[in-house]
């Protein structure tokens, strides 16, 4: 079974716990719209990356034919593979910040102006276009595809814990080896001191070694200059390519409780649809998965457009005069029933 089935409830639980703890401290770590935008980017990325899966698997198997077939003890093999994966992540992460078109893709992850566990889910839809090459070295070193998938999946999932303001600024000794929330907060800062620093995923040693490390010495201002976070995931993933083409967002608008509940119910349906699609992915045809992708994307983009432009394009239009998200919920549920 796809490990994503277990990861999604875990991540949601972490977000709820973080919000509860920080709220009791008097800190507003989450906003409805920004959290929704983060989740929509994550849901879309999960669906879209399924279509990258086959060519990437083929590429890994192709290069495996020319592997070195290294012989090593089992324990050392896993450690070595982890170090290789982590270093390649660091390198690809650095390149994604330095190459303009790659930054336009990767920058989606940096758009949030709040910093919490939901930011760990705000992943760019076209990420594999910038990082596909990191599969080649493990394949050439002789690691099996199955071993690589296990290590790479755990490596990616483990990074979510660094997206929080819960933990103290510094963790002595530990931070010399591993990336901490303080380490990664710096990476997400738009302070001039913090730009293009701290690229590590799990190990911080690469940043110390290659002089890209900077400690957290002043309050971090999160986000990207001149780019405001959007709910519409399509705009979020394209705005850095063509910033002048996308309309600017108006001042922060407020949603009523009724609107939040309705949109929240749609979002829960989308999360459940992701879990169900991946729970039964081996039994679903490509056509069904494409249909699930289209329904999810149309739903998220439609809701995102309405929220982003509630006070300009839809200033005189009631939310309930539009197609109700309850209808979309019903459509999704019926579709899943008939799968």
Instruction: Give the domain ranges of the chain.
Output: 52-111+127-231, 257-337
Q: Name the pTM for this structure.
A: 0.88
Nearest to 264 by CA among 19, 18, 39: 39
Strand partners, 183: none
pLDDT at residue 287 in the model: 82
pLDDT at residue 339 in the model: 44
Would you give per-residue pLDDT tens digits along the chain (339 residues)?
Answer: 556 666 778 888 999 999 999 999 999 999 999 999 999 999 899 888 888 888 999 999 999 999 987 788 888 999 999 999 999 999 999 999 999 999 999 999 999 999 999 999 999 999 999 999 999 999 999 999 999 999 999 999 999 999 999 987 778 889 999 999 999 999 999 999 999 999 999 999 999 999 999 999 999 999 998 888 999 999 999 999 988 888 888 766 788 888 888 888 888 888 887 778 777 777 878 788 788 888 888 889 989 998 888 887 777 666 555 555 555 555 555 444 444
pLDDT at residue 48 in the model: 87
pLDDT at residue 22 in the model: 94
Tokens for 31?
């906003």
Tokens for 25?
């401290």
- Rounded to 10 degrees, what is the CA torsion of 319, 323, 326, 330? -170
Strand partners, 222: 189
- Write out the DSSP string of 40-105: HHHHHHHHHHHHHHHHHHHHHHHHHTT-------HHHHHHHHHHHHHHHHHHHHHHHHHSHHHHHH
pLDDT at residue 213 in the model: 96
Tokens for 143?
């690691």
The H or E element that residue 221 is part of is none
pLDDT at residue 121 in the model: 92
Is 31 in contact with 229 (CB distance < 8 Å)?
Answer: no
Sign of CA dihedral 175, 156, 159, 99: positive
| Helix and strand counts by DSSP (H, E) for the chain | 13, 0
How many other CB atoms sit within 10 Å of the CB of residue 35? 23
CA-to-CA separations, 305 to 124, 207, 236, 260, 286, in angstroms, rounded: 18, 39, 11, 15, 28
Strand partners, 227: 224
pLDDT at residue 283 in the model: 81
Nearest to 32 by CA among 210, 240, 262, 224: 262
Residue 203, helix vs strand vs coil: strand
pLDDT at residue 334 in the model: 47
């Amino acid at each position: 079974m796809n490990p994503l089935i277990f990861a999604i409830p875990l991540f949601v639980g972490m977000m709820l716990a973080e919000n509860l703890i920080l709220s009791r401290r008097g800190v507003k770590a989450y906003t409805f719209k920004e959290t929704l935008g983060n989740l929509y980017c994550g849901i879309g990325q999960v669906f879209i990356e399924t279509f990258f899966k086959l060519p990437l698997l083929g590429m890994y198997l192709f290069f495996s034919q020319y592997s070195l077939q290294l012989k090593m003890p089992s324990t050392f093999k896993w450690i070595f593979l982890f170090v290789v994966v982590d270093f390649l992540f660091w390198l690809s992460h650095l390149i994604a910040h330095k190459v303009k078109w790659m930054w336009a893709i990767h920058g989606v992850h940096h758009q949030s102006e709040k910093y919490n566990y939901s930011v760990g889910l705000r992943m760019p839809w076209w990420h594999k276009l910038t990082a596909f090459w990191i599969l080649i070295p493990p394949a050439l070193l002789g690691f099996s595809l199955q071993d690589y998938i296990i290590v790479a999946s755990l490596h990616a999932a483990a990074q979510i814990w660094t997206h929080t303001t819960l933990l103290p600024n510094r963790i002595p000794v530990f931070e010399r080896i591993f990336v901490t929330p303080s380490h990664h907060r710096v990476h997400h800062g738009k302070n001039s001191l913090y730009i293009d620093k701290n690229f590590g995923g799990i190990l911080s040693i690469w940043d110390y070694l290659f002089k890209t490390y900077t400690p957290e010495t002043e309050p971090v201002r999160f986000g990207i200059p001149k780019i405001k976070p959007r709910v519409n995931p399509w705009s979020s993933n394209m705005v850095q390519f063509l910033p002048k083409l996308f309309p600017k967002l108006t001042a922060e608008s407020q949603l009523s409780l009724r609107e939040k509940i309705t949109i929240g119910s749609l979002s829960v349906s989308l999360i459940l649809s992701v879990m169900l699609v991946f729970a039964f992915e081996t039994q679903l045809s490509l056509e069904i998965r494409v249909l699930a992708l289209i329904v999810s994307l149309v739903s998220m983009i439609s809701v995102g457009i309405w929220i982003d432009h509630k006070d300009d394009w839809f200033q005189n239009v009631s939310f309930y005069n539009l197609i109700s998200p309850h209808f979309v919920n019903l459509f999704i549920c019926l579709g899943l029933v008939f799968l």
